[in-house]
Chains A and B, each alone.
Chain A
Amino acid sequence: MITVDKRYDIIPNDFNFAGRASSDIKRTLKSMHFSREFIKRVSVAAYEAEINIVIHSRGGKAAFKISDDTLYLEFADIGPGIPDIQLAMTPGYSTASDESRLNGFGAGMGFSNILKSVDKMDILSDPNGTVLKLKFDIAEADRDEDR
């Protein structure tokens, strides 16, 4: 059964707006009484993915869905794509702008943080855009906070 199904727009190069999707995802999970540890895992992955779209893309969208015992996040942008996904996954590798670095990002840790947080990650990229799909398995212990 689907209990959450939300969509967000992500604006490129707008650090004032960056994080709105991730913040709403966090608030939603908190209101549903997920554990703090689970919320942190999802929030960190969501924020890194959102920031990647802000920093590197021409804009995009995020989708957040919970269906039975699985949480899904999908981030899709409209390009210019990642030329070498393996290289982009290397911790420390970054093509971020100076502005991104001044905002505390662009250290090449984004994918590394995402991979540590998720149960499954799929990524497809070409010059027309990148689609990042993240999956989190929800265990019984993830649901019991503050009840």
Chain B
Amino acid sequence: MKIASILQGDYRLATRAGSEQSDYLGVYAGDLLSVVMKSARPQNVLVTVMANLTAVAVASLIDLPAIVFCEGCKATPEMIVRADREGIVLIETTYKAVDVIVDFARRGLL
């Protein structure tokens, strides 16, 4: 599935335009990055409130192509620069993690 298909309604692309054309396979939601590293599978989109550089580093390390920062958490300029460099898509939403999952399920994005 294309990451671009996530970007409807309350989802804002934070990284450079065009980055959303890459693909993903499944979704993993979690905030403890050690648990994310253990359980997320390559190509999963990560849904988290952990809006910091370590989340971007973890995504890069275990091949997660995109992160959805929920509950209004914002990507900082440093995070955006690093994500663009590593080819990771950052998306912001005001939804809670559970609402993102429900929304994805409704739209057939899981």
Note all chain A residues with C-beta closer than 8 A to B54.
15, 18-19, 51, 103-105
Count of inter-chain pairs, beta carbons less than 8 A: 71
**Total interface residues on B, using CB and 8 Å?**
22
- Extra contacts besides A47-B61, A105-B34, A107-B34 (7): CB < 8 Å: A26-B60, A26-B61, A36-B42, A47-B37, A104-B50, A104-B58, A109-B38
Q: Is the CB of A113 within 8 A of B62?
A: no
Note all chain B residues with C-beta closer than 8 A to A36.
42, 63
List 20 A–B pairs whose Cβ atoms lie within 8 Å, in order of A's numbering.
A15-B52, A18-B53, A18-B57, A19-B54, A19-B60, A22-B57, A22-B61, A23-B57, A36-B63, A40-B63, A44-B37, A44-B38, A47-B61, A104-B31, A104-B52, A104-B58, A105-B34, A107-B32, A109-B38, A113-B38
**Total interface residues on A, using CB and 8 Å?**
24
- Compute how far the CA of A23 lies from the CA of B82 in the bound complex, rounded to whole angstroms: 12
Say yes or no for A74: interface residue by CB 8 A criterion.
no
Q: Is the CB of A40 within 8 A of B53?
A: no
Q: Which of A84-138 contact B (CB under 8 A)?
A: 102-105, 107, 109-110, 112-113, 116
Say yes or no for A16: interface residue by CB 8 A criterion.
yes
Q: A116's contact among B36, B38, B55, B58, by CB below 8 Å, is which?
A: B38
Mostly, the B contact residues are: helix
Mostly, the A contact residues are: helix
Note all chain A residues with C-beta closer than 8 A to B58.
19, 47, 104
Q: Tell me how far the C-beta of B90 lies from the nearest C-beta in chain A, rounded to whole angstroms.
A: 15
